[in-house]
Every structure is written in structure tokens, then in C-alpha cells.
């Protein structure tokens, strides 16, 4: 599991930024004129795309590859889904979108670190077959 401060900081920062930005954009794009299910699906795809672009443009060169891309895309997907669904039911202020998005980014950061602490190390090949 990653313990070097530079990379832990990078993981946290990139999740906060990706989540905040996706939340902000989804709060701006979606409104009560959207059907809730369609807003949720479109928001999820839009969130993943925005998170991927932010990751490649800002964080990939500095902090890693899969270790940055996968958590950030998960953050983008979840934030896109939640904020767009909420915005289709009632108005979501931009600042709320930003804050809630960053909060989800933080939660994803914690979840990934918990998963990583369980999964890192040797794979039991007799149990899993391939590990893939």
C-alpha cells in the first residue's frame, strides 16, 4: 500500500479536484427539466469523461497512472450520478455541487485505500485461479 506522502497527497488532491469539478459542472448543466433517470445516466458518463480529462491533463504526469486514473474516474462517475440526479429534482447551487463533489472524492479516496490495503500483496492462486 502506498505510504509515501507525495503520492498519498497526490491521490487525495486529484480526487478532491476531480470530484469538485464534476460536481460543479453537473450542478450547472442539469436542471429540473431533465428526466431523473436520463440525467443520472448522462451525468455518470459526463462525470467519468470530465474526471478522465482532468486526470490526464493535471495529475497523470505528477502522481501515477492507474493509481490516479481509476479512483478519479470512480469519483467522476459517482459524483456525476448523484449531482445530476439531485439537480433534476431540485436546484443544486454551484457551491453545493462543488462541495458535495469534493466530499465524494474524499470518500472514494478512503475506500480505495481500504481496498488497496486488503488486496495488495500475494494473490492466492489456488483460490482465485488467475487473479483477474
Partner 1 sequence: MDTATRDKWDKTSKRYDLMVSKGAEKRWEPSKRDLYSHMKGKILFLALGTGLDIALFPVGLDITCIDISPKMLEQAQPRVAAYDGTMVAHCMDVHDMEFDDNSFDQIYTACTFCSVPDPINGLKSLARVLKPGGVMRMFEHTGSTLFPFNLMMNIMTPLSSISGPEMNRKTVDNVRAAGFKVTEVDNVFLDVVKTITANLPK
Given candidates 13, 52, 58, 111, which one binds partner 1 under the rule CB under 8 A? 52
Note whether 76 and 18 are within 8 A (CB).
yes
Indicate whether 107 belongs to the interface with partner 1 (CB under 8 A): no
Nearest CA-CA partner of 16 in 44, 58, 45: 58
Q: Which helix (H) or strand (E) holds 56?
A: none
Nearer to partner 1, 29 or 67 (CB): 67
Indicate whether 73 belongs to the interface with partner 1 (CB under 8 A): yes
d(CA 118, CA 45) in angstroms, rounded, equals 29
Given candidates 28, 37, 38, 65, which one binds partner 1 under the rule CB under 8 A? 65
> Under rule CB under 8 A, how many of the chain's residues touch partner 1?
31
Nearest CA-CA partner of 29 in 78, 75, 97: 97
**Residues making contact with partner 1 (CB under 8 A):** 2, 7, 48, 52, 59-70, 73-74, 77, 112, 115-116, 119-123, 125, 130-132
Amino acid at each position: 500500500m502506498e505510504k509515501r506522502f507525495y503520492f498519498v497527497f497526490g491521490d487525495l488532491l486529484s480526487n478532491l479536484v476531480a470530484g469538485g469539478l464534476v460536481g460543479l459542472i453537473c450542478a450547472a448543466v442539469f436542471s429540473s427539466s431533465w428526466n431523473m433517470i436520463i440525467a443520472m445516466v448522462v451525468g455518470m458518463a459526463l462525470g467519468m469523461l470530465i474526471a478522465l480529462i482532468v486526470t490526464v491533463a493535471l495529475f497523470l504526469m505528477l502522481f501515477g497512472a492507474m493509481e490516479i486514473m481509476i479512483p478519479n474516474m470512480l469519483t467522476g462517475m459517482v459524483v456525476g450520478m448523484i449531482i445530476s440526479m439531485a439537480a433534476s429534482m431540485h436546484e443544486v447551487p454551484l457551491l453545493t455541487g462543488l462541495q458535495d463533489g469534493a466530499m465524494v472524492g474524499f470518500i472514494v479516496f478512503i475506500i480505495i485505500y481500504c481496498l488497496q490495503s486488503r488486496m495488495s500483496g500475494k494473490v492466492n492462486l489456488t483460490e482465485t485461479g488467475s487473479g483477474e
